[in-house]
Structure formats: C-alpha cells, structure tokens
Structure 1
C-alpha cells in the first residue's frame, strides 16, 4: 500500500495587487509568472516539501497555498477560507508603504475569524502583537514583493524591518523579486528561510494533532475509569 502524503494549509494574504499570485507561482512552480490575473475569491496551488530534509525525520508533505483575493468587496465572504489553516504568509508591495501598514489589519481579520481574542488593551480592532507571540500561535512569515520595482523607481525605502509587524510578532521577513526565478533558488538565504517556515508550519500541525490525540485519550481513560468505578460499586452493593 502506497504511503499517504500528509498536507498542511498556508494562507497568503495582503492588499490587492501586491504580488501574491506571482509569489505563489514562483514558490510552487519555480518560475516567474509573466501575465498574472486578478484573484477572485481564492486561488489554490500545491507544492511538495521535504520536512527536515537531510535528517532521520525527513518526510514528504504537501503544502497547500490559499492565495486570497485582496479586493475590499470580498471582505465579508473570504473568511470561509480562514479555517483550518496551519500557517500565514503576509504579503506586501515594497513600493507601496500603505500595503505594509495594512498587514496588521489582515492579521487581525484572520485571527478574529479563528475566534482568537486579538484586540489590544484599548479594545479596538488593531491586534496587539504580544497576543500573537507564543508557541500556541500560528507560524507567520512576512514577504515583501516587487523588489525590482523598488530599485527601478527609486522609491523611498519601505518600513524598516525593525519595528515592522514581522519584528513585533517575532517572524522572519523576506524581500524578493518575483520576476526572477533565482530569487528562491535552492541554497539561497531566502530559500532557507522559506523552507524553515514550512517546517514550523508542519511542526505546528503535528503538535496540534498530538494535543488533540492526548486529550481524546484522557477523555477515554476518564470514561473507562468512571465505568469501572460504577461497576465496582454495584458489585460491592450486591455482596453486602
């Protein structure tokens, strides 16, 4: 019987036109996308990933990428794609500072759909990054696209990585040119960061599954104990 390959789901979100579809295509096909279209709803791509490659724990996984359309007109309906998920990639346009600032709202939108309390101490809708930190939260990666256009247009530098949402949430960040297939060539720093992120996503899913199994086992043991206790009580009553 052939081995069944497990899978994890990763969301790619960000404002409309920031380059999510090009980025997804580059990651999954290792080539640039010359004429990307506008994503309506959700575009799904899949790639194979070697978890903990080169170690005894190496295992093949499917990574499902849910490229979510960024149009404001779909804001009230795209929440159907937000569960179940195992990791988040926030994408912004390096030539558009506002798209980076809006990543906070995207993260709030996702986590709020997940039923997590992510409001800040003032109770407003801007999530508190400290709420996101910790081993119980979803793995996060921030990616800045259109690095080539940033250089061509001589735009002012985007928000510094220090103090950005990546820094606040303890996430790694990648800036790249999606037009250049070499941007994520094997062995490059950015490719290693991306692979490391996928490993964290898989580990998070495995931890959640182990926790669920452990909880189910505890419930089963408790039920068995209660049943045995009830039976023993009845026997004692009969013997008296």
Structure 2
C-alpha cells in the first residue's frame, strides 16, 4: 500500500436522493468533511449537473486474519482462567489481528443533483449504473418528503438492477444495494418524533440517522452516527467489489 499512488486509489460513488430543500447540499458538505479534506475547495469536484464532493475512506480488509485461539471460546475450560499465559496469548492474538487487517484507501464521491438543472435521462442513467450506495434524505419537519422517497428511489434501483445484478429484482428487497436513510433538521424539532415501523428505513432493513446538517460534530469520532456511516461506506465498497459495473 505504501507504493500506491492517487491514480491507483479506487473510487466508490454514493448517490443522495431527496426533494429540494431537505438539506442534501449541506449533508453532502458534512459527509465529505474530514481531516484530509477540511475545506469545501479541497473536497469539491463538481460537475455541470451535480454537486460532487469527495473524501478518503479506509476500508478494512480482514484477509489473512489469524484464527481465534481455542481458549477464547466460552465453552473452553481455560476461558475462565486468569493466568498470565492466556493473557499473553490474547495480547499476541490482538497484535497479529491488527497487523493482518490492512486498511485499503478508497475515494468516496457523494453525488447531489443540482435541483435547478434538468439533466437528460441518458446522463442520469449512466451515473446510476455506477452507483455503489444510496443515501435517502428527508426533512423531519415535513414527513411528505419522507413518503416521496419511494418514488425517487425507483428509477435508480432499476438501473442498478439491470446493470449490476444483471436482472430485475423487487424494488424493496433487502441487500439490493447499500442504503442509508438520513432525517435532517433535527435541531428544529419541538418534539422528538416516534420511529415508525412502516418507515422506509424499516422497509429496506437499513440504518437511519437523524441529525442537524449544520452541526459539524454530527459525525464526531467514535460517535454512533460515525459508526453507522462507516458501516454504510464499507458496505458500498463491498457492493462495488462483488457487483462491478459492466462496461458499455
């Protein structure tokens, strides 16, 4: 990995979907913010039709992971022992495990269509075919923006089905493509809304994050939101590897 250059770093593409005014642009800016890309100019790679921002993501590769020692099993007689030998073995195991888990750099591009632009269907379809993950965005103050996500999601999923899975699948089937649901404007809520069992996150079997897009600590290190985001990005990289986009 030390010999790897920028030209050789692979890219995962994330599509943001949501109605105008729900905060997609602010969320894009927040998602792409990192130590390596601290300012908008350092992370913006915009397009005519898209607001595109990029960040670096470290994807953990667990290949070559050493086997779990037998003494760590709960059924092992030595699991209850507190002798110095198991402790030393555990430290050695953790050290070997850490060295075996190689972190592979990936560029992650977040695509937010500019609402003022009308893009030809051909250009949209070309992008949709190469999407590795989708973030659905809605306004917590207007649940109509939540209900409209089904319609916005339909066409991108059809393109992904056709060109990545090579067959059509039921739109709401789980494990279709990595999806994350984000509710914005959490700071403006006067009362905390109850989670709906029939919400789109529940239907898709995916994670949901509620946040304030103007709060730069929304994805603070080791926070629950950061954990959900990293899991989603790892799943997007998995999808890219197992369902590569076909050449046209």
Give the TM-score of the pair, scaled to structure 2.
0.67
Aligned counterpart for 2:143 among listed residues 97, 112, 131 = 97
Q: Which residue of 2 aligns with 1:191?
A: 226
Q: Find the residue that maps to 2:151 and give its secondary structure.
A: helix
Q: Which residue of 2 aligns with 1:113?
A: 159
Kindly tell me: are residues 32 and 185 of structure 1, through their superposed partners in 2, closer, same or farther at Cα, counting changes over 3 Å? farther
Q: Distance in 1 between matches of 2:108 and 2:196?
A: 27
The alpha-carbon deviation at position 24 of structure 1 amounts to 0.7
Q: Find the residue that maps to 1:46 and give its secondary structure.
A: strand
Does structure 2 conserve the Cα–Cα contact (< 8 Å) formed by 1:22 and 1:32?
no
Q: Distance in 1 between matches of 2:209 and 2:192?
A: 18
The alpha-carbon deviation at position 161 of structure 1 amounts to 4.1
Aligned counterpart for 2:209 among listed residues 174, 181, 186 = 174
Q: Which residue of 2 aligns with 1:138?
A: 177
Q: Distance in 2 between matches of 1:113 and 1:201?
A: 16
Q: Distance in 1 between matches of 2:119 and 2:39?
A: 28
Q: Which residue of 2 aligns with 1:13?
A: 17
TM superposition outliers: structure 1 runs of 4+ over 3 Å: 30-33, 73-78, 113-119
Q: Find the residue that maps to 1:52 and give its secondary structure.
A: strand
Unaligned runs of 5+ in 1: 34-38, 120-126, 213-240
Show the 5 A alignment for 1:1-240: 2-3=4-5, 4-30=8-34, 41-52=49-60, 56-70=101-115, 74=118, 77=121, 79-80=124-125, 81-114=127-160, 115=162, 117=168, 127=171, 129=172, 132-134=173-175, 137-150=176-189, 154=190, 157=193, 160-209=195-244
Q: Find the residue that maps to 1:47 and give its secondary structure.
A: strand
Does structure 1 conserve the Cα–Cα contact (< 8 Å) formed by 2:184 and 2:213?
yes
Kindly tell me: are residues 51 and 28 of structure 1, through their superposed partners in 2, closer, same or farther at Cα, counting changes over 3 Å? same
Unaligned runs of 5+ in 2: 41-46, 62-97
Question: Which structure: larger Rg?
Answer: 1
The alpha-carbon deviation at position 75 of structure 1 amounts to 7.2
Does structure 2 conserve the Cα–Cα contact (< 8 Å) formed by 1:13 and 1:69?
no
The alpha-carbon deviation at position 68 of structure 1 amounts to 2.0
Q: Distance in 1 between matches of 2:168 and 2:207?
A: 23
The alpha-carbon deviation at position 79 of structure 1 amounts to 2.5
Kindly tell me: are residues 45 and 186 of structure 1, through their superposed partners in 2, closer, same or farther at Cα, counting changes over 3 Å? same
Q: Distance in 2 between matches of 1:32 and 1:103?
A: 30
Does structure 1 conserve the Cα–Cα contact (< 8 Å) formed by 2:140 and 2:186?
yes
